Amino acid sequence: MSKQNCDMIRDLLPLYADSVCSEESKKAVTAHLSECEECRAMLNKLNQKVAVAAEKDISAIKKIKKRIRLGKVAAITAAVILLAGGLFGGYIWAVTDCSMDYEKYNLAESLHVEEDSEGTLWLCMEGNASALSCYVFPTISDTDGGHMGYENQTFNKEKKAGFGVTLKMFRIAKLVPWQMSSYEQRIKVRSDLDYVFYYDDATNTEYVLWGEKPA
Ligand SMILES: [Zn+2]
């Protein structure tokens, strides 16, 4: 077997190892390998390299998969933390309300009660009293300061001569700059009342808005 022949065969070996050479070349290489130990050794080496490369590929893919899995876990964890934080934040946001300070927000100017021609009383809010209405919401309260909801359906006529209202605002609204994005609001209140008052939770103070508080 000539050295020149070996060179030619070795050029073909990588293709032969990958089974991509022509049928004719394959036959020639196989015939040569059966007689040439050196070229057989060469093919063995090549096959080993291919096997190692394949193994490296697999471990690289495994690493990438692992990274993707870890990425998913991190993303899910982050989402859960954000969600929990959001819910907690919302809870804190919702529970920390307080009465709008009557003096500080000068409610004497922006909150008043009007009686229409049919004797119905309306709570009218403008300016500060209706500013950032998403932060401020009217709450009807009885004379003991107990809140009874927006429409005052459980008002105890026997017990109460007056009608209380308070403007609840979230505490957070006290921290952000007070912006005037107000629009006028009117809320129907009861008609058979002696007086209507603004009730300030924080100071337990009543400010009469309409009528006269019975002595
Ligand atoms: Zn050879």
Quote the pLDDT of residue 181: 52
Instruction: Spell out the long-range contacts of 103-108 with Cβ–Cβ below 8 A and sequence spacing 24 or more.
Output: 105/129, 105/178, 107/167, 107/198, 107/207, 108/207
Most confident of 24-28, 112-116, 177-181: 24-28
Please give the structure tokens belonging to residue 47.
């096959």
194 Cα: distance to centroid of ligand 1 (angstroms): 117
23 Cα: distance to centroid of ligand 1 (angstroms): 19
Question: Across residues 168-183, what is the average pLDDT?
Answer: 55
Quote the pLDDT of residue 155: 44
50 Cα: distance to centroid of ligand 1 (angstroms): 20
Question: Across residues 171-175, what is the average pLDDT?
Answer: 55
Please give the structure tokens belonging to residue 106.
């000068």
Which tens digit of pLDDT belongs to each residue from 90-101? Answer: 666 555 566 778
29 Cα: distance to centroid of ligand 1 (angstroms): 9
22 Cα: distance to centroid of ligand 1 (angstroms): 19
Which tens digit of pLDDT belongs to each residue from 54-108? Answer: 788 888 888 888 888 888 889 999 999 998 888 777 666 555 566 778 888 888 8
Give the confidence band of 5 by pLDDT, cuts at 50, 70, 90. confident
Quote the pLDDT of residue 180: 47
**Residue 41 pLDDT more than 90?**
yes
Model-wide pTM > 0.85: no
16 Cα: distance to centroid of ligand 1 (angstroms): 14
Give the confidence band of 35 by pLDDT, cuts at 50, 70, 90. very high
Q: What is the mean pLDDT of the chain?
A: 75
7 Cα: distance to centroid of ligand 1 (angstroms): 7
40 Cα: distance to centroid of ligand 1 (angstroms): 8
Count of residues making up the chain: 215
Which residues, in sequence order, are CB contacts of 47 under 8 Å at separation 6+? 17
92 Cα: distance to centroid of ligand 1 (angstroms): 82
11 Cα: distance to centroid of ligand 1 (angstroms): 11
Pick the range with the lowest mean pLDDT from 3-17, 114-128, 146-160. 146-160
5 Cα: distance to centroid of ligand 1 (angstroms): 7
Identify the CATH assignment for 3-94 out of 3.30.70, 1.10.3470, 3.30.1370, 1.10.10.
1.10.10
Quote the pLDDT of residue 156: 46
34 Cα: distance to centroid of ligand 1 (angstroms): 9
How crowded is the C-beta side of 203, counted as CA atoms within 13 Å?
11
56 Cα: distance to centroid of ligand 1 (angstroms): 30
Tell me how far apart the alpha carbons of residues 18 and 188 are, in angstroms, rounded to a whole number.
88
Residues forming CATH 1.10.10 domain(s) in the chain: 3-94
Please give the structure tokens belonging to residue 32.
């040569």
**Residue 150 pLDDT more than 50?**
no
Regarding predicted confidence, which is higher, 187 or 66?
66
How crowded is the C-beta side of 148, counted as CA atoms within 13 Å?
18
Tell me how far apart the alpha carbons of residues 19 and 29 are, in angstroms, rounded to a whole number.
11
Quote the pLDDT of residue 38: 93
